[in-house]
Structure formats: structure tokens, C-alpha cells
């Protein structure tokens, strides 16, 4: 975010990057369409529950546990192996995220600590706090240079201040920056991807763009694929206008694919009710 640090509202400034306004508008129209679906007026709770399940599955898939949706739905024990534990962590985070909306705008760092605690409850005394110098990071998907603990602390504080201050940035821009910054920093020793995607969900819901949490961006990120995800993240980490805009657009496509997923669920429920 250093390329925009000279402005009073750096998140809002990102909205003027080439192509970002178009992404924001496309996402807004897509979200409006699913919220206008007839089934949403009568059965929105079911859509929210299904979106949570599918979002958790997508987030776990990006972290290396690519299970079929029905396996996630059927399984009750998530302790058997590393993949099962990853899926269980994703499910716990999705459930927890909805409980943290009121805290996010006042204390985002507290929320991030809680998310990590929920995801990595069995990891010992490093759980729920940013890593210290010399502590390893288990995040095989992200191969960017690892910032030191001092840089992590400073950038987390800067991100926190931006969120608390609010501003005029579109929800998509804020969500993309929160997501990208957490992945680039990898502030925790593990589960940074899951935490970053849960934080993106919190921003999208808490901003009012997706108040019922029926547009699971995690589904879209998984559908776009790990290679595209990593490439877009590299653009974010570069700090260039093109790279930042590309990452925001990538996150916008993910939200739109999440909308498409929930629209398909609406259509299926409508056919069943006919």
C-alpha cells in the first residue's frame, strides 16, 4: 500500500486506478441481482447457510484441502489428518466471522487474533498473536519474501487505522486490500490464507455490500484457481498501480462467481418449491 500512502484516504485512492471502478460496479450489479431473487425474500437463511458451507470448502481448497462439497457436508470428524483439520478450521472460521462484525470496525487486530485462535487452536502458545522474528510460517501456497516481525507489526497497525478511520472506499477495494495485505504479510505462523479470506468476508458483509453473507468470494477464488490467485497476489505485493488494480479485479471476479453459486442455489430451491 506504500504507493498510495501520501493520500489522506489511500483506500479510496485505489478506487481511481484503471479498471477498478468497472470492477466495483460489476460486483454491485451482481450482488443486487441475487438479492433481488424471489427465493431470497423467503428463504435467505437457507442461502446464507449454504453459502457459508461452500465458502468454507473453497477456502480450504485454496489451502490444499480440496474436498468435494458433499464430503464437507457429510463429515462430522475433522481431526483425522492435516486435510481434515484444514477443512474443519475453514468451517470454524466461517461460523466465527459472523460473530465478529460488530468488533471489526473498532478493533480489527483483535478480530484477526481471534480468527487465528479459532483456526489454529491446537498450535500452542503462538496462536492468536503475530509471529516473532525467527518463528517459522507454514503457508506453502504463498512464496513471496517474508516480511520481518517489525514490518508486520507496523503494517498491521496501519491497516487497522485505515479500517477504524473508515472512509469512502468501495467495499470491494477495502476487502481486497485487507485480504491481500494479510496474505503478503503472513502475520501468523499458520492458517494465514484462511484468516485472510475470512477477513475479506467480514469486510464484504460488514460494509453492507453483502449483509446476509450470501456471496461467498472464497468459492470464486477457488474456482479461478490457485495459479491465478498467486499471480494476482504477486501483483498486489508489487505495489504497482497495475498490480493493485489486477488484484482488486481478481477479488471482484471471485465475488461475482460467489454470486453465481448462490444464484444457482436459489434456482434449485425455486425448482424444488414449484
Q: Give the angle 248-252-253 at the CA atoms, nearest 5°.
A: 120
113-151 pLDDT, tens digit per residue, is: 999 999 987 766 678 899 998 898 998 899 999 999 999
Q: What is the CA radius of gyration of the chain?
A: 18
Rounded to the nearest 5°, which phi and psi values hold at 233?
Answer: -65, -40
106-115 pLDDT, tens digit per residue, is: 999 999 999 9
CA distance 165 to 223: 33
Residue with cell 467480514: 202
Q: What pLDDT was estimated at residue 125?
A: 64
Q: What pLDDT was estimated at residue 6?
A: 44
Q: Considering the entire predicted model, what is its pTM?
A: 0.94
Which residue would you say has higher pLDDT here, 272 or 84?
84
Rounded to the nearest 5°, which phi and psi values hold at 190?
Answer: -160, 165
Residues 168-194, mean pLDDT to the nearest whole number: 97
Q: Burial code of 180-195, b = ≥16 C-beta within 10 A, e = fewer?
A: bbbbbbbbbbbbbbbb
CA 266 to chain centre: 23
Q: With 80 as the cut, is the pLDDT of residue 8 above it?
A: no
% pLDDT > 90, the chain: 84
Q: What pLDDT was estimated at residue 237?
A: 97
Rounded to the nearest 5°, which phi and psi values hold at 138?
Answer: -100, 90
% pLDDT > 70, the chain: 95
pLDDT band at 3 (very low <50, low <70, confident <90, very high): very low
Are 23 and 249 in contact by the 8 Å Cβ rule? The answer is yes
Question: Residue 9's CB: how many other CB atoms inside 10 A?
Answer: 15
CA distance 12 to 6: 12
Amino acid at each position: 500500500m506504500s504507493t498510495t500512502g501520501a493520500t489522506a484516504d489511500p483506500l479510496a485512492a485505489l478506487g481511481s486506478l484503471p479498471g477498478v471502478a468497472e470492477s466495483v460496479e460489476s460486483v454491485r450489479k451482481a450482488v443486487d441481482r441475487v438479492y433481488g431473487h424471489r427465493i431470497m425474500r423467503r428463504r435467505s437463511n437457507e442461502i446464507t447457510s449454504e453459502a457459508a458451507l461452500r465458502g468454507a470448502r473453497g477456502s480450504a481448497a485454496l489451502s490444499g484441502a480440496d474436498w468435494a462439497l458433499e464430503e464437507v457436508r457429510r463429515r462430522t470428524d475433522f481431526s483425522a489428518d492435516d486435510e481434515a483439520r484444514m477443512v474443519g478450521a475453514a468451517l470454524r472460521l466461517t461460523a466465527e466471522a459472523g460473530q465478529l462484525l460488530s468488533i471489526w470496525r473498532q478493533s480489527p487486530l483483535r478480530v484477526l487474533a481471534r480468527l487465528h485462535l479459532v483456526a489454529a487452536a491446537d498450535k500452542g502458545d503462538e496462536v492468536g498473536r503475530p509471529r516473532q522474528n525467527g518463528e517459522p510460517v507454514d503457508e506453502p501456497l504463498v512464496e513471496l519474501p517474508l516480511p520481518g516481525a517489525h514490518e508486520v507489526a507496523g503494517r498491521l497497525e496501519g491497516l487497522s487505522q485505515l479500517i477504524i478511520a473508515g472512509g469512502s472506499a468501495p467495499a470491494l477495494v477495502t476487502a481486497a486490500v485487507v485480504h491481500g495485505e494479510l496474505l503478503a504479510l503472513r502475520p501468523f505462523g499458520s492458517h494465514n490464507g484462511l484468516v485472510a479470506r475470512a477477513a475479506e468476508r467480514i469486510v464484504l458483509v460488514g460494509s453492507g455490500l453483502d449483509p446476509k453473507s450470501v456471496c461467498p468470494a472464497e468459492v470464486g477464488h477457488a474456482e479461478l484457481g490457485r495459479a491465478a490467485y498467486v499471480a494476482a497476489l504477486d501483483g498486489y505485493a508489487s505495489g504497482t498501480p497495475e498490480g493493485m488494480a489486477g488484484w482488486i479485479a481478481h477479488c471482484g471476479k471471485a465475488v461475482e462467481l460467489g454470486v453465481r453459486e448462490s444464484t444457482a442455489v436459489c434456482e434449485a430451491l425455486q425448482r424444488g418449491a414449484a
